[in-house]
Amino acid sequence: MSDDCIFCKIVAKEIPGEIVYADEYVTAFRDIQPAAPVHVLIVPNKHIPSMNEVDEEDAVLIGRMHLAAKQVAEQEGIAERGYRLVINTGDEGGQVVYHLHLHLMGGKKLSIPKYN
């Protein structure tokens, strides 16, 4: 738990979040500014700032985040139609909140982002 981290506070239920899935390892809640009809953030329950701080011992946790995303996609009814999973890392990667999170987006045909 990082005292000044908004996602740690949502995990700890200190501030409201629309939680759609939670287990021992991860919590998933709706993005406050959805970029798609379904936009859920899957975060580790422990504070990891970004992919840059992930290490060997977090391998299972990273897998758990993806398994939770798969489950939420099924729950939300978008598994068959398809969805996108994204992890923004660092300033140039577009990361704004420094608690690792996996974006699950779907519910419409998503455009392919331009990277140049």
The set of catalytic residues is: 101
Give the span between the Cα atoms of 77 and 65, in whole angstroms. Answer: 18
Give the contact letters, 95-114, x = binds to Zn ion (CB under 5 A), - = no: ----x---------------
Residue ranges that bind ligand 5GP, judged by CB under 6 A: 6, 17, 29-33, 41, 88, 94-97
Least CB distance to ligand 5GP at residue 21 (A): 14
Position among 30, 47, 66, 84 found at the interface with Zn ion (CB under 5 A): 47
Q: Does 9 bind Zn ion (CB under 5 A)?
A: no
Q: Does 89 bind Zn ion (CB under 5 A)?
A: no
Given the complex with ligand 5GP, which of 57 and 111 has the nearer CB atom? Answer: 111
Given the complex with ligand 5GP, which of 57 and 92 has the nearer CB atom? Answer: 92
Give the closest residue to 83 by CA, choosing from 101, 66, 98: 66
Task: Please give the full DSSP string across the chain, using - where no structure is assigned.
Answer: --TT-HHHHHHTTSS---EEEE-SSEEEEE-SS-SSSEEEEEEESS---SGGG--GGGHHHHHHHHHHHHHHHHHTT-TTT-EEEE---TTTTT--SSS--EEEEESS-PPPPP--
In the numeric block, which tokens belong to residue 43?
Answer: 């975060």
Contact partner at residue 32 from ligand 5GP, Zn ion, none, CB < 5 to 8 Å by partner kind: ligand 5GP
Q: Which residues bind Zn ion (CB under 5 A)?
A: 2, 5, 7-8, 47, 99
